[in-house]
């Protein structure tokens, strides 16, 4: 029995590129390796900058402003991915989704995020699209309104349990008001904790490469307390950089019931060859809390870590987006 059938665990691909959609993407779906996909401004920046597949459409669009060019390129890919994933979505509407993120410079503009989310969703015209919204105060407001309108949401850049709770509250409230069923995932970023903290932790004698998973599991438990079958925890930022860990470390240790893991293509390729096929042993909420207490005893301020990672994450998406817009009109 597959992990999907056994515990409703889904693996999504955190990558999109036009030629990939017509080849390997479809193979991964047909081989039942992946059940969905995600994108972000950094992924599109890389794909559009490095692939010749966009050249012809770019030339046609050059009379437009940079953001319009970006949206046309991105929506073409998102529409195609949605078409390819649609049979899966129709068979099981927990899966078969593709995500598109709103303009990251709108992260503190609730009304701007709502208007852009609605416009993008309607322009794409496929039910199996999720609008990706960062977990800021403005983002929570936007998440509630988008789900009220029956639009699927991928809440992103979640680092703290407080963010996870706020996302779940907003999504839950929107779904309760909506006359149309919609789905949502709450994307908890994992590996960035360990990249930020491992050297510091090693110097203090604290186990390395553990905080990311412990924190993600704590968020997972908080989301599940809402008992909403239409909201799933999604583990994101699950690629490994460097060679100290197995490349599938952040997938193998988070094979949890009713969850999603969105992983880079290289991680998925390694997972096919070497990844675990058994559900992970679930870390209890008590174990998570004990780990955080231990950090406090070592004078580790977890809230400072959360703030750093969120501000860095928001800034990185803005920079990627703005650099891409500049290149599109170069």
| Residue-wise DSSP of 20-68 | HHHTHHHHHHHTTS-SEEE--HHHHHHHHHH-GGGHHHHHHHTTS-HHH
For residue 137, the model assigns a pLDDT of 98
CA atoms of 145 and 164, how far apart (whole Å): 17
Instruction: For 231-242, write each residue's pLDDT tens digit.
Output: 999 999 999 988
CA atoms of 184 and 166, how far apart (whole Å): 13
Judge contact between 171 and 153, C-beta under 8 A. yes
Rounded to the nearest 10 degrees, the angle between the axes of helix 302-328 and helix 66-91 is: 120
Judge contact between 217 and 288, C-beta under 8 A. yes
Q: Kindly tell me if the per-residue pLDDT of 98 is higher than 90.
A: yes
Percent of the chain with pLDDT over 70: 100
Judge contact between 274 and 289, C-beta under 8 A. no
Q: Which residue has the tokens 């983002």?
A: 139
Q: Which residue has the tokens 């239409």?
A: 230
Q: What is the mean pLDDT of the chain?
A: 96
CA atoms of 113 and 118, how far apart (whole Å): 9
Verdict on whether the full-model pTM lies above 0.95:
yes
Q: Which residue has the tokens 């990558």?
A: 15
Catalytic residue from among 67, 132, 177, 293: 132
289 Cβ contact list (under 8 Å, min separation 6): 218
CA atoms of 253 and 261, how far apart (whole Å): 11
pLDDT class of 274 with cuts at 50, 70, 90: very high
Question: Residue 289 corresponds to which tokens in the numbers above?
Answer: 């809390």
Q: Kindly tell me if the per-residue pLDDT of 166 is higher than 90.
A: yes
Give, in degrees to the nearest 5, the angle at Cα 257 between 313 and 305: 25
CA dihedral 261, 310, 120, 226 (to 10 degrees): 60
pLDDT class of 304 with cuts at 50, 70, 90: very high
Q: Kindly tell me if the per-residue pLDDT of 202 is higher than 90.
A: yes
Q: Kindly tell me if the per-residue pLDDT of 243 is higher than 90.
A: no
CA atoms of 257 and 161, how far apart (whole Å): 18
112 Cβ contact list (under 8 Å, min separation 6): 103, 106
CA atoms of 163 and 171, how far apart (whole Å): 12
CA atoms of 144 and 155, how far apart (whole Å): 11
pLDDT class of 264 with cuts at 50, 70, 90: very high
- Greater pLDDT, 113 or 242: 113
Determine whether 90 is an active site residue: no
Instruction: Please state, as a whole number, how many other Cβ atoms lie within 10 Å of the Cβ of residue 279.
Output: 13
Instruction: Please state, as a whole number, how many other Cβ atoms lie within 10 Å of the Cβ of residue 177.
Output: 12
268 Cβ contact list (under 8 Å, min separation 6): 11, 13, 28, 33, 34
Question: Residue 275 corresponds to which tokens in the numbers above?
Answer: 């990844």
For residue 329, the model assigns a pLDDT of 78
Question: Residue 40 corresponds to which tokens in the numbers above?
Answer: 């972000």
Q: Kindly tell me if the per-residue pLDDT of 330 is higher than 90.
A: no
Q: What is the mean pLDDT of residues 288-306?
A: 98
CA atoms of 137 and 109, how far apart (whole Å): 9
Instruction: For 32-61, write each residue's pLDDT tens digit.
Output: 999 999 999 889 999 999 999 999 999 999
């Amino acid at each position: 029995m597959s992990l999907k059938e056994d515990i409703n665990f889904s693996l999504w691909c955190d990558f999109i590129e036009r030629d990939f959609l017509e080849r390997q993407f479809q193979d991964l779906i047909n081989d039942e390796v992946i059940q969905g996909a995600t994108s972000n401004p950094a992924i599109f920046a890389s794909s559009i900058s490095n692939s010749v597949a966009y050249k012809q459409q770019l030339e046609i669009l050059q009379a437009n402003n940079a953001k319009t060019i970006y949206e046309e390129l991105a929506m073409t890919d998102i529409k195609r991915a949605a078409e390819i994933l649609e049979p899966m979505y129709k068979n099981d509407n927990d899966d078969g989704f593709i995500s598109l993120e709103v303009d990251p410079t709108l992260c503190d503009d609730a009304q701007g995020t709502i208007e852009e989310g609605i416009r993008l969703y309607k322009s794409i015209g496929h039910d199996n699209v999720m609008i990706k919204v960062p977990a800021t105060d403005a983002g929570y407001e936007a998440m509630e309104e988008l789900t009220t309108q029956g639009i699927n949401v991928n809440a992103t850049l979640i680092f703290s349990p407080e963010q996870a709770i706020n996302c779940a509250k907003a999504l839950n409230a929107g779904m309760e008001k909506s006359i149309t069923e919609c789905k949502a995932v709450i994307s908890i970023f994992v590996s960035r904790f360990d990249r930020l903290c491992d050297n510091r932790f090693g110097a203090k004698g604290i186990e390395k490469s553990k905080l990311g998973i412990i924190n993600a599991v704590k968020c997972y438990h908080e989301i599940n307390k809402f008992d909403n079958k239409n909201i799933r925890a999604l583990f994101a930022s699950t690629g490994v950089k460097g060679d100290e860990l197995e490349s599938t470390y952040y997938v193998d240790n988070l094979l949890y019931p009713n969850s999603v893991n969105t992983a880079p293509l290289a991680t998925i390729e390694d997972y096919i060859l070497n990844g675990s096929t058994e559900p992970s042993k679930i870390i209890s909420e008590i174990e998570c809390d004990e780990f955080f207490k231990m950090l406090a005893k070592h004078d580790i301020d977890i809230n400072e870590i959360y703030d750093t990672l969120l501000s860095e994450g928001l800034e990185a998406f803005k920079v990627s987006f703005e650099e891409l817009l500049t290149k599109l009109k170069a």
